[in-house]
């Protein structure tokens, strides 16, 4: 995968509010190939790191061309790259270095921490000049938490950068030419998110024995730097936790519960201890907060889920009593996970107070959400995302068409299409998700949907015997994208339309290349890419969702 030239793919069809940014609007070229692409075990091709620019004043063969580990450099960030890292070039040589939390136009001092064959990674030590489109981050943890890396970047600049990233990935990874006359019509402007804070309906916090304090704060007065913590993992550490009292991404009711638990769980009288990932001792592992909505009253419904290493409800009783009177708390759960891993999914689940599920509505349907259900994390933007999927589906509405829903999760996409289809067949590897999908189908009186548990990475030759030939395939894989076996199956199946919903535009672009241009084993592609629609589901993060429509050639 070759690096895009600086100022590479131009913005096409920009939104008016992006055009009107005046002097603050600067091109944010996104280097599509700045980081290796995640892939399934049997995927045969991966994206290479960026290639250094053409030979400059210093010979590439000279050792001085490559910065050394530990070397300190003065750098200027030129653009954002894959996963939101800042792309910089070493002065005089043009050698590419990547820096986390560096933003376009920012001049800073960085130390080389890791060398690759053709690029290096640096850690930012000090900002000399702030970046373009600089704004003040409203969250006190924004500079240290691993979640919201771009809070101090103007939101319009964030979405402009994300749109550009998708465009360059489609060209450089997907091998679709931006010189093609149809390219402008295929690439759609990104859909921004109207709600940029408090949009997450689920947050997971970790209990830890080590409170992490950033280096720049160590010299300041701070309490118990080695004490217990409840919050989010420090970037790059599995055993250190950044203590957090409030997260601006989750709902206000969830933040009130978080604050109440923070105020009380360390009380020695309660006898509570955080789980130690090294000694494998301790009780409290995770705190999960989920926000739903009563479909009759429209009021918030909050689920509190304590993940513990054993079932000892008497230990949790003081915390349960502390939050039971909160009006929005309708469910308090306890997932018991005895494994040494860091997962929040329990082997056993107990209801400590109230209901075992909360409610939410999406595209006119009701959904029951359990503690371990998969549900779109941004409900507001999911309404827009699913409307885009419905528009791409172009179902006739006469009940004649078959829909195959791959990686269906709890069936939300398939169920929203079922009313216009003859039958929906959904496949998902997670048992609990399939159970939720079936329950939600019954809840909404949908009888033309069948959900089956199965691993789509291990499909056999007889996979197509489980359902009639579909008119439409929906595929919504996780970040590694689709397995080669599944791609081969789809090329053989030849459904009239495929809608590829992706949370990782890099692996999405790779799979679009396979479906349209073919596989290395001389398997011909048989689809034509009709549209790529980026959607910003998660403001202030590097994550991007895409809805892609393919039609059989």
Binding-site annotation, residues: 376, 407, 428, 476
371: its two tokens: 């503690």
Closest alpha carbon to 126 in 242, 1, 216, 250: 216
Q: Are 265 and 216 in contact (CB under 8 A)?
A: no
Token look-up 């419904």 returns 301
What's the rounded Cα separation, in Å, for the pair 243 and 198? 19
Q: Is 503 a catalytic residue?
A: yes
Rounded to the nearest angstrom, the gap between the alpha carbon of residue 359 and the centroid of all alpha carbons in its chain is 23
| DSSP letter for each residue of 53-68 | -S--SS-TTSGGGSPP
Closest alpha carbon to 143 in 35, 269, 242: 242
- Assign 261 to helix, strand or coil: helix
Residues paired with 289 in a beta bridge: 203, 304
- The continuous run of DSSP H or E covering 491 comes out as helix 484-493
Q: Which of 394, 503, 516, 526 is catalytic?
A: 503
Q: Are 414 and 449 in contact (CB under 8 A)?
A: yes
Q: Are 283 and 311 in contact (CB under 8 A)?
A: no
112 vs 75, 96, 383, 531, CA distance in Å? Answer: 11, 12, 43, 40
Q: Radius of gyration over alpha carbons of the chain, in Å? A: 24
Residues paired with 241 in a beta bridge: 211, 233
Detail the residues annotated as belonging to a binding site for S-adenosyl-L-methionine.
Answer: 376, 407, 428, 476
Look at phi and psi of residue 422 and say left if phi exceeds 0, alpha if psi is from -120 to 50, else beta: alpha
78: its two tokens: 């030129």
Residues identified as active-site = 503
């Amino acid at each position: 995968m070759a690096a895009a030239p600086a100022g590479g793919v131009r913005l096409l069809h920009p939104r008016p509010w992006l055009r009107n940014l005046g002097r603050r609007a600067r091109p944010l070229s996104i280097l599509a190939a700045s980081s290796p692409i995640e892939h399934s075990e049997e995927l045969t091709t991966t994206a290479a790191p960026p290639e250094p620019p053409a030979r400059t004043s210093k010979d590439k063969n000279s050792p001085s061309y490559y910065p050394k580990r530990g070397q300190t450099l003065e750098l200027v960030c030129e653009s954002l790259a894959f996963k939101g890292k800042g792309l910089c070039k070493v002065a005089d040589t043009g050698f590419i270095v990547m820096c986390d939390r560096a933003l376009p136009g920012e001049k800073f001092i960085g130390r080389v921490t890791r060398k690759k064959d053709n690029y290096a990674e640096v850690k930012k030590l000090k900002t000399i000049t702030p970046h373009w489109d600089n704004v003040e981050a409203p969250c006190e943890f924004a500079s240290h938490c691993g979640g919201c890396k771009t809070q101090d970047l103007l939101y319009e600049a964030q979405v402009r950068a994300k749109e550009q990233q998708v465009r360059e990935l489609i060209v450089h990874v997907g091998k679709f030419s931006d010189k093609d006359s149809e390219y402008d019509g295929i690439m759609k402007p990104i859909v921004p998110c109207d709600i940029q804070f408090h949009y997450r309906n689920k947050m997971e916090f970790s209990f830890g024995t080590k409170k992490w304090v950033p280096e720049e704060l160590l010299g300041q007065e701070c309490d118990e730097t080695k004490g217990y913590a409840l919050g989010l993992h420090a970037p790059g550490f599995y055993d250190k936790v950044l203590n957090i009292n409030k997260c601006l991404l989750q709902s206000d009711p969830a933040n009130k519960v978080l604050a109440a638990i923070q105020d009380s769980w360390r009380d020695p009288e309660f006898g509570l201890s955080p789980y130690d990932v090294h000694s494998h001792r301790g009780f409290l592992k995770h705190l999960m907060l989920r926000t739903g909505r009563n479909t009759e009253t429209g009021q918030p419904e909050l689920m509190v889920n304590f993940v513990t290493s054993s079932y000892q409800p008497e230990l949790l009783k003081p915390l349960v009593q502390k939050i039971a009177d909160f009006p929005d708390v309708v469910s308090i759960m306890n997932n018991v996970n005895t494994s040494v891993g860091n997962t929040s999914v329990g082997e056993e689940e107990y209801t400590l107070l109230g209901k075992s599920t909360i409610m939410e509505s999406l595209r006119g349907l009701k959904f029951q959400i359990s503690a371990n259900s998969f549900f779109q994390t941004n409900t507001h933007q999911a309404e827009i995302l699913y409307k885009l999927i419905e528009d791409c589906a172009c179902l006739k509405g006469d009940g004649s068409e078959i829909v195959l829903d791959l990686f269906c999760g709890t069936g939300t996409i398939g169920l929203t299409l079922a009313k216009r289809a003859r039958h929906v067949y959904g496949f998902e590897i997670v048992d609990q998700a399939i159970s939720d999908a079936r329950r939600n189908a019954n809840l909404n009186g949908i009888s033309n949907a069948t959900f089956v548990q199965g691993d789509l990475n291990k499909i056999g030759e007889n996979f197509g015997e489980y359902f009639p030939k579909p008119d439409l395939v929906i595929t919504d894989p996780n970040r590694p994208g689709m397995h080669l076996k599944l791609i081969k199956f789809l090329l053989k199946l030849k459904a009239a339309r495929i809608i590829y919903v992706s949370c990782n535009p890099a692996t999405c672009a790779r799979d679009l290349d396979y479906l349209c241009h073919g596989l290395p084993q001389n398997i011909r592609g048989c689809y034509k890419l009709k549209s790529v629609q980026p959607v910003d589901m998660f403001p202030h993060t590097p994550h991007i969702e895409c809805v892609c429509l393919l039609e059989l050639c």
